[in-house]
């Protein structure tokens, strides 16, 4: 297996790649594209390293690499709203790992975007209670992870992050930067 690391400039870029874009490379939007370089981006590590941004392959660059425009209008029509909620939380809380509240943020996105309302304490508490009562171990675990995150971060902080005024235009700037980062491909020896 080919090893690679995508070095990004900040927490928001890391969250966008980890939580959405890598999946879009491996089995989403670009999965069956003509250019097969997507196959090398589906299983990489993402690191926050602002001074050395780019895609660093361990031994060699495996193909004639073509960068993708991750600020693609069609892609954002489908996943832009959920990416925006994650970017808001990352930007507001200055964190780069949202994996423990991924399902909670998916719910927040559906509330905030489809219903055009702010997510509040009752929404979050009701959802976690529903997960706790569910017979599925998966949802019980999601409740535990969300509670642990909220205890550490604070519910008000999380709600302010979800409902913050970070806009789609802010996220598009980060996506443009990610597109440039993906064009900067090199091997470890050069890095």
- Its pTM stands at 0.85
- In whole angstroms, what is the distance from residue 37 CA to residue 13 CA? 20
Portion of the chain with pLDDT greater than 70, in percent:
78
Q: Distance of CA 111 to CAs 75, 81, 123, Å?
A: 21, 11, 9
Query: Residues 144, 145, 151, CA angle at the centre, nearest 5°?
Result: 90
Q: What's the token pair of residue 107?
A: 């719910």
Domain boundaries, the chain: 4-72+175-187, 74-169
First to last CA, the chain: 20
Q: Which residue has the tokens 């949802």?
A: 139
Q: Is the pLDDT of residue 33 over 70?
A: no
Tens-place pLDDT, residues 156-191: 999 999 989 999 999 999 999 988 888 877 776 554
């Amino acid at each position: 297996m080919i090893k690679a690391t995508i070095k990004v400039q900040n927490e928001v870029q890391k969250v966008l790649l980890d939580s959405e874009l890598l999946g879009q490379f491996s089995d989403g939007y670009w999965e069956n594209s003509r250019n097969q370089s997507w196959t090398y981006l589906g299983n990489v590590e993402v690191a926050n390293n602002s001074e050395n941004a780019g895609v660093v392959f361990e031994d060699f660059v495996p193909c004639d690499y073509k960068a993708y425009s991750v600020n693609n209008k069609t892609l954002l029509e489908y996943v832009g709203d959920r990416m925006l909620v994650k970017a808001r939380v990352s930007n507001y809380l200055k964190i780069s790992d949202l994996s423990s509240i991924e399902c909670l943020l998916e719910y927040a996105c559906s509330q905030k975007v489809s219903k055009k309302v702010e997510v509040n304490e009752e929404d979050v508490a009701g959802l976690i209670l529903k997960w706790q009562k569910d017979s599925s171990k998966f949802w019980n675990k999601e409740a535990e992870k969300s509670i642990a995150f909220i205890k550490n971060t604070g519910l008000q902080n999380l709600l302010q992050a979800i409902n913050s005024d970070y806009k789609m235009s802010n996220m598009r700037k980060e996506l443009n930067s990610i597109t440039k980062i993906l064009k900067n491909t090199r091997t470890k020896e050069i890095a």
